């Protein structure tokens, strides 16, 4: 799978994903630390990457987007240590990788995760 890690995600997560055979990049690696959230989301869409973020603002961006196929994992965790994030992400990937590959928003908390197909809202 292809991943784009937002600034709040520890770089070590990207390293671990690569060790597991995934194509993962971190915004910091590309000097994009100050990229606005909407541009980060667009980059994920353009590059067909699953966005990993701790930034709750992405919930609104996802809900208002016309996204048709980019997965987003929004971590809503109190414990943001790399080991905990990776453990929660591994569970999401085991149980919901098909949904993410098709484009879904996954909200991850301490003990569970919720999958929503994208686009979250449709306007008529």
CB 28 within 8 A of CB 14: no
26: closest CA among 49, 45, 1? 49
The per-residue pLDDT of the chain, averaged, comes to 89
DSSP letter for 76, please: -
Stretch 5-30: mean pLDDT: 97
CA dist., res. 69 & res. 91, Å (int): 21
Q: What is the pLDDT of residue 13?
A: 97
Q: Where are the domains of the chain?
A: 2-117
Q: Tens digit of pLDDT for each residue in 33-74?
A: 899 998 999 999 899 999 999 998 887 777 777 766 778 999
Q: What is the pLDDT of residue 119?
A: 64
Is residue 121 scored above 60 in pLDDT? no
CA 68 and chain centroid, separation:
15
DSSP letter for 113, please: E
Residue predicted with more confidence, 122 or 47: 47
Q: What is the pTM of this model?
A: 0.90
Alpha helices (H) in the chain, listed in sequence order: 11-19, 37-46, 57-64, 82-102
């Amino acid at each position: 799978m292809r991943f784009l890690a937002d600034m709040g995600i520890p770089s070590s997560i990207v390293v671990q994903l690569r060790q597991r055979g995934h194509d993962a990049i971190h915004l910091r690696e590309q000097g994009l630390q100050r990229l606005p959230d909407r541009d980060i989301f667009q980059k994920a869409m353009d590059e067909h990457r699953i966005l990993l973020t701790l930034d709750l603002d992405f919930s609104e961006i996802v809900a208002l987007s016309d996204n048709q196929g980019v997965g987003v994992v929004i971590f809503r965790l109190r414990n943001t240590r790399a080991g905990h994030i990776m453990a929660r992400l591994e569970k999401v990937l085991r149980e919901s990788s098909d949904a993410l590959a098709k484009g879904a928003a996954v909200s991850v908390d301490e003990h569970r995760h919720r999958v929503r197909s994208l686009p979250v809202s449709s306007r008529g």
